[in-house]
A and B are shown apart, each in its own frame.
Chain A
Amino acid sequence: MEVGILLILGIGVFGGILGAWFFQKIRIPQVIGYIAIGLIIGQSGFGIIGELQLPTLRPFSYLALAFIGFLVGGELEAKIFKQYGRQFTGIMLGEGLGAFLIVGTASGLLLWWVTGNIPAALAGGLVLGAISSATDPASTVDVLWEYRSKGLLTTSLVSVVALDDALALTLYALGTTVAGLLVGGEFSYVEIFRSLGIELIGSVLLGIACGFGLSFLLKHSESGDRSLTLLVGSLLLIAGVSLAAHLDVILCAMAAGATLINHSPHRSKPLMHTLRAFAAPIYVMFFVLVGARLQLDSQPAWLWGIVAVYVIGRTLGKYGGAWLGAKWSGSPPLLQNNLGLGLFAQGGVAVGLSMMAGQHLSGVELVGGLDLGAVVVSAVTATTLIVQLIGPACVKYTITRTGEIGCNVTEEDIIATLKVADVMQPDPVCVREEELLSTVFDTIAQTDQLSFPVVNPQGACIGVISLESLKTLFVEQEIWSWMLAGDVMVPVQDILHSDTPLEEALSLMEQMEAEETILRDPDTHVPVGLFDLRSAKRSVSRKLLQMQGS
């Protein structure tokens, strides 16, 4: 069946959201839900997104990478690098080289054991090792954003995953050059170094130039809407120019984001926030496509051995390397013990490099008609699936373990999670309708309530003595001895219920210009609580401080 691109996008985004919702219900990061839906509708599943559609959708993935790169770059503030630059570099080198060495050695040995071909085994080990050093910033950062993580570990994770792409590209350049020499292919290491050098430096330079250009344009942009349009347009241009010039889209966008945030932080911070919300469906589709692209054909058993060695070696290398790097650079124990756990995700860069390696090494025959290029592509595809399923879960685990989960919250976030019942004062002091005003005033003097529910003998709230009433009554003291609470109460307005969302409650109170209101049971009319604006706001501030760990 021919499925139109728009329908695919619709199915992808909608299905991705459903998948994310399901996975969130079982407390697994949403990004795994997106990828799972991609697997179901992709090449390994129903084939709705198949070989025909994937090339057409590739530009979409590049655009998503530009968004991700730009937003990750937006997190790289120079002041943080000045403070922690040495630690970040140490950790990045440790985890990247750790994965490179362990995966390279283990997979090389396995390839040698299977094929008996030492040069091919060394070449395969080098390339797989280099590819394994890359960490996927997209899914890592998505988990950090989803769970509103904030703190030193979070900042370090973002910085390390942003930086290690450059390390992966360098290691890949080295690895493929040596591999070329070993297997005697038509490799020119000068050429590979030159092109990767151009790719790295060119991407960063183009990104910096775009960042400055954007900063200038935003300065002269009058409205927020226009700024967002300008930003999206710039990211389209960055992605387009990077692809045309064979540069790295994510690195270029990252450099642009980092330049902008450091050059005009006040203007760009709210814009980054808006862009993040705008980019949500693009992310969803990106990860769905990641899942759809994964192909799990029948492969020889030893290839699964490579996959296992790669996953285990990479996990050990990343964790151990990050620990060593953190220790060497004098990072605090928080980073030494936990950062490595957040570096398992593998994504676009690894898959892209495996595709390149697939072409470069396709002439190296191994056993059973398989060539080294196909082995690298298959191994990286399968491992990507596995680590994309465990990587985000580990990121969540490490931010939970260090208590940084949920710390990046605002008052609005807190308000959005609360209901009136969470902040109301339960069991307010009531007055009986037949109580004399003189007694009522005695009661009032003993509490800090501003409104008093007036109840009948059955306990139902039939009115309220409000602050406004109290002012009038206070002047007319001669009637206190013979007027009853029921004589001076005003009708109850059922503005709120216990289950009214707090956000709606605050808006209603503002509309009514009310400071305080009584809540009644809808059936029995028994007063169940007192909603006071000042107390509600105090509760929100208290919860905010608790969540921020202050």
Chain B
Amino acid sequence: MAESGSHLLDEALSPQRIFLTHARSKDELLSHLITQMGQCGEVDDQEALRSAIFMREGLMSTGIGLGIGVPHARISSIRRMVLAIAVNDQPLDDYESIDNQPVQIVFLVAGRPDQQSNYVRLLAVLSHVVKQETNRQALIQAGSSDEVYEVLRKAL
């Protein structure tokens, strides 16, 4: 059964997986997030995650519009669903998105193949939150990981 949005966020995210980054390309940003996620103790095979994320980007870029990117994948070498966030200091032009706007905020979601329901729910919750202009601005202007975390908690 799908859990509530705030509960899902609490389970999947911790301030340690929120990064204020200075990447200059989509690949650099995604690689950074994957590496960080790989060190969080929940991912058993970082290369499998990297491969799955980039394979998914190969099918279609995960820029969902409004400056948001949601790279995501489900792999079996992960213990539970995890979320990592990067707020880049400037929009990335090479991150293709459905409204052709450059991407500045990236949510990387990794789940297990059998977590379809909560996985979809978390992606939908994130999509819902960032649709609000005020939430997006608050995330971009946040000065620290903790501030980003608080913006999200408040939004839910």
Type the 1/0 row for A459-480, where 1 means its CB is closer than 8 Å to any CB of B.
Answer: 0000000001100110010110
Contacting pair A486 B56 (CB below 8 A) = yes
> Given A478-B124, A478-B128, A482-B62 in contact, is the A490-B116 Cβ separation under 8 Å?
yes
Closest chain B CB from A475 CB (angstroms): 8
CA distance A479 to B123 in the complex (A): 8
Contacting pair B113 A488 (CB below 8 A) = no
Contacting pair B121 A472 (CB below 8 A) = yes
Smallest CB gap from B117: residue in A? A472
> Given A433-B59, A487-B72 in contact, is the A472-B120 Cβ separation under 8 Å?
yes
Contacting pair A482 B64 (CB below 8 A) = yes
Which residues of B76-91 have CB atoms within 8 Å of chain A's CB atoms?
Answer: none
CA distance A512 to B147 in the complex (A): 46
**In the assembled complex, B2 has its CB within 8 A of some CB on chain A:** yes
Chain B residues contacting A486 (CB-CB under 8 Å) are 56, 59
Chain A residues contacting B114 (CB-CB under 8 Å) are 490-491
Closest chain A CB from B101 CB (angstroms): 13
Select one of B59, B60, B127 contacting A479, CB under 8 A: B127
Chain B residues contacting A476 (CB-CB under 8 Å) are 120-121, 123-124
Contacting pair B120 A491 (CB below 8 A) = no
Contacting pair B116 A488 (CB below 8 A) = yes
Contacting pair B120 A479 (CB below 8 A) = yes
**In the assembled complex, A484 has its CB within 8 A of some CB on chain B:** yes
**In the assembled complex, B23 has its CB within 8 A of some CB on chain A:** no
Contacting pair A482 B70 (CB below 8 A) = yes
Chain B residues contacting A515 (CB-CB under 8 Å) are none
Contacting pair B56 A487 (CB below 8 A) = yes
CA distance A528 to B2 in the complex (A): 32
CA distance A491 to B76 in the complex (A): 11
CA distance A482 to B114 in the complex (A): 21
**In the assembled complex, B155 has its CB within 8 A of some CB on chain A:** no
CA distance A481 to B62 in the complex (A): 11
CA distance A468 to B98 in the complex (A): 28
Contacting pair B123 A483 (CB below 8 A) = yes
Contacting pair B98 A490 (CB below 8 A) = no
Chain A residues contacting B70 (CB-CB under 8 Å) are 482
Chain A residues contacting B65 (CB-CB under 8 Å) are 482
**In the assembled complex, A427 has its CB within 8 A of some CB on chain B:** no
Contacting pair A491 B113 (CB below 8 A) = yes
Contacting pair A434 B59 (CB below 8 A) = yes
Q: How large is the interface on A (under 10, 10 to 19, 20 to 34, 35 or more residues)?
A: 10 to 19
Type the 1/0 row for B105-128, where 1 means its CB is closer than 8 Å to any CB of A.
Answer: 000000001101100110110011
Smallest CB gap from B65: residue in A? A482
Chain A residues contacting B120 (CB-CB under 8 Å) are 469, 472-473, 476, 479, 483, 488
Which residues of A424-445 have CB atoms within 8 Å of chain B's CB atoms?
Answer: 433-434, 436
CA distance A469 to B72 in the complex (A): 17
> Given A487-B72, A488-B120, A491-B113 in contact, is the A482-B59 Cβ separation under 8 Å?
no
Chain B residues contacting A479 (CB-CB under 8 Å) are 120, 123-124, 127
Closest chain A CB from B2 CB (angstroms): 6
Smallest CB gap from A473: residue in B? B120
Which residues of A479-528 have CB atoms within 8 Å of chain B's CB atoms?
Answer: 479, 481-484, 486-488, 490-491
CA distance A269 to B122 in the complex (A): 60
Chain A residues contacting B2 (CB-CB under 8 Å) are 472
CA distance A66 to B117 in the complex (A): 65
Closest chain A CB from B12 CB (angstroms): 16
Chain B CB within 10 Å, residue with most, of A433, A472, A486: A472
Select one of B113, B116, B127 contacting A478, CB under 8 A: B127
Chain B residues contacting A436 (CB-CB under 8 Å) are 60
Smallest CB gap from B131: residue in A? A478
Which residues of B109-156 have CB atoms within 8 Å of chain A's CB atoms?
Answer: 113-114, 116-117, 120-121, 123-124, 127-128, 131
CA distance A478 to B121 in the complex (A): 11
Which residues of B58-76 have CB atoms within 8 Å of chain A's CB atoms?
Answer: 59-60, 62, 64-65, 70, 72
> Given A472-B2, A476-B120 in contact, is the A481-B60 Cβ separation under 8 Å?
no
CA distance A423 to B81 in the complex (A): 39
Contacting pair A472 B64 (CB below 8 A) = no
CA distance A476 to B131 in the complex (A): 14
Chain A residues contacting B64 (CB-CB under 8 Å) are 481-482
Chain A residues contacting B72 (CB-CB under 8 Å) are 487
> Can you list 24 contacts pairing A with B, beta carbon distance less than 8 Å?
A434-B59, A436-B60, A468-B117, A469-B120, A472-B116, A472-B117, A472-B120, A472-B121, A476-B121, A476-B123, A478-B128, A479-B120, A481-B64, A482-B64, A482-B70, A482-B98, A483-B120, A486-B56, A487-B56, A488-B116, A490-B113, A490-B114, A490-B116, A491-B113
Besides A468-B117, A478-B124, 20 other CB < 8 A contacts?
A: A434-B59, A434-B60, A436-B60, A469-B117, A472-B116, A472-B120, A472-B121, A476-B120, A476-B121, A476-B123, A478-B127, A482-B70, A482-B98, A483-B123, A484-B60, A486-B56, A486-B59, A490-B114, A490-B116, A491-B114
In the complex, the 6 A-B pairs of residues with the closest C-beta atoms, listed nearest first: A476-B124, A482-B64, A434-B59, A472-B117, A479-B124, A490-B116
Measuring CB to CB, which residues of chain B are less than 8 angstroms from any residue of chain A?
Answer: 2, 56, 59-60, 62, 64-65, 70, 72, 98, 113-114, 116-117, 120-121, 123-124, 127-128, 131
